[in-house]
Structure 1
Amino acid sequence: MTDTPHRRGADRTEAIMRTTLELGQKIGYARLSMEAVAAHAGASKQTIYRRWSSKGALLLDSLLSLNEPGLDYPDTGDLVADLRAQIHAAVDLLAGPAFGPLFKALVGEAQHDPQVAAALNERLIAPQADKTVARLKAARDQGQLSPGFDLALAMAILSGPLYFQLLITQEQLTHEYVDRILDALFAGMRPRPPMPAAQAGPPPTPGPHRRARG
């Protein structure tokens, strides 16, 4: 492979992002700094600041560089199985011991950095939501879901408990918890059989009114 300036730049960017993740795992996001990343990656501070405007932006790019294929939806024809496989993979990546603390730190950073918040939504949260809604729509079109079910609401119901447990209660996210969410949600999303027709016939005739005897 020809060693070009573009190739060297890509290699340097990859090394910086890899160092960010490794160092972040080791010392935590609070102690992570652009200067520390530069020193460990063998890059100048100017190189890092020219590419990333903040520590949060650097961490976001670094996490997205993982590019785990498990976050793409399978389509086996079994909607619940496909959702389970994708959400299990997301939980393993975003809430696992390796990167869970860094992901939570990134969400926290987004609360007071509008640029990080916009980038996080545009590049991670919204694309995953779109994939979920698209998979739900395909299942609805195939008759696997109630035709009138609100797919955007289904997406919110699917993801809300995960973020609540990950960020608010900070309890461990497990595959079993994901399965409970899916079971509860799909009890209401599956098509319901039509109500049986009422028995034909005249309504019962009320009996004669009798006055109470004194």
Structure 2
Amino acid sequence: MAEKTAPDATRRSERSHRAILDAALELIGEVGYPRLTIEAIAARARVGKQTIYRWWPSKAAVLLDAFVALGERAAREAGGEEPYEIPDTGDLEADLKTVLRATVDELNSPEFAIPSRALAAEGLINAEVSAEFVSRILEPQLQLYVKRLRAAQDAGQVVPGTDPRIALELLVGPIAHRWLMRTLPLTHEYADAVVELTLRGITPR
């Protein structure tokens, strides 16, 4: 008689984990963050509520992990095997316009915009979520700008003594502000104008 293979608990756990993250993203797009609940996530993922609480303390924590996974999946689908870097073609203006245009496209995409807005709002009242959002999502992206601006500075394309951290805030701050306020359209043209104005201040005359 053939021996029965024992169920793979690790694989089952991974499937449940993935199902929970997918459920959180689906539901926030359907009902919004205020109406998102652990009970609803558990029902959609077909797991017990206690399974979720075993891994996450709150719906915000679930959504944060789901959003990180979403970004990783998007990078894989785009063919990015290596960690993403801002292009360095030698043309700082063109490189910054390329990355800010891609940022605008992402921020205008409901798939990314809805969960990221929810996490930004939650972070205003939840210091732990804010710290996690910054350390796991925002800061790694900002460091890419620091690296690219320092390379440009080494190449003589940025005024010596310019603080790359302040320079990057001149680039991403207006984009984030317009996205959060939603009073004016967030477009490629606007991103290009932000790059051009920023470079007037940090490039040699």
The interval holding the TM-score normalised by the smaller chain is 0.7 to 0.9
Match of 2:125 in 1: 112
Say if 1:55 and 1:152 are closer, same or farther in 2 by CA, change over 3 A. Answer: same
Given the alignment, which residue of 16, 37, 50 partners 2:54?
Answer: 50
What number of residue pairs does the alignment pair up?
191
Query: In the aligned structure 2, how far is the partner of 1:188 from the partner of 1:34?
Result: 48
Query: In the aligned structure 2, how far is the partner of 1:61 from the partner of 1:87?
Result: 24
Say if 1:39 and 1:130 are closer, same or farther in 2 by CA, change over 3 A. Answer: same
Say if 1:79 and 1:7 are closer, same or farther in 2 by CA, change over 3 A. Answer: farther
Deviations 1:77-121 (A, max 9, x none): 222222222222222223323331221121000111111011001
TM (norm. structure 2) is 0.85
Identity of aligned residues (%): 41
1:170 Cα deviation from its structure 2 partner: 4.6
Unaligned runs of 5+ in 1: 193-214
**RMSD between aligned residues:** 2.0
Q: Are residues 1:16 and 2:16 paired?
A: no
Query: In the aligned structure 2, how far is the partner of 1:42 from the partner of 1:172?
Result: 39
Match of 1:122 in 2: 135
1:169 Cα deviation from its structure 2 partner: 4.5
Deviations 1:25-58 (A, max 9, x none): 1111121111101101111111111111111111
Shift >6 Å, 4+ stretches: none
Which has more radius of gyration? 1
Answer whether contact 2:28 2:114 (CA < 8 A) is retained. Answer: no
Answer whether contact 1:73 1:135 (CA < 8 A) is retained. Answer: yes
- Secondary structure at the counterpart of residue 111 of structure 1: helix
- Greater RCO (CA < 8 Å, at least 6 residues apart): 2
Alignment of 1:41-190 (within 5 A): 41-66=45-70, 67=72, 68-69=74-75, 72-190=85-203
Q: Which 10-residue stretch deviates more, 42-51 or 78-87?
A: 78-87
Query: In the aligned structure 2, how far is the partner of 1:170 from the partner of 1:6?
Result: 47
Answer whether contact 2:178 2:184 (CA < 8 A) is retained. Answer: yes
Query: In the aligned structure 1, how far is the partner of 2:31 from the partner of 2:122?
Result: 17
Answer whether contact 1:95 1:173 (CA < 8 A) is retained. Answer: yes
Corresponding letter in the other structure for 2:41: V
Deviations 1:171-207 (A, max 9, x none): 3322221111001111122112xxxxxxxxxxxxxxx
Answer whether contact 1:25 1:99 (CA < 8 A) is retained. Answer: no
Unaligned runs of 5+ in 2: 1-6, 79-83
Match of 2:29 in 1: 25
Deviations 1:129-157 (A, max 9, x none): 11110111011111121122221110111
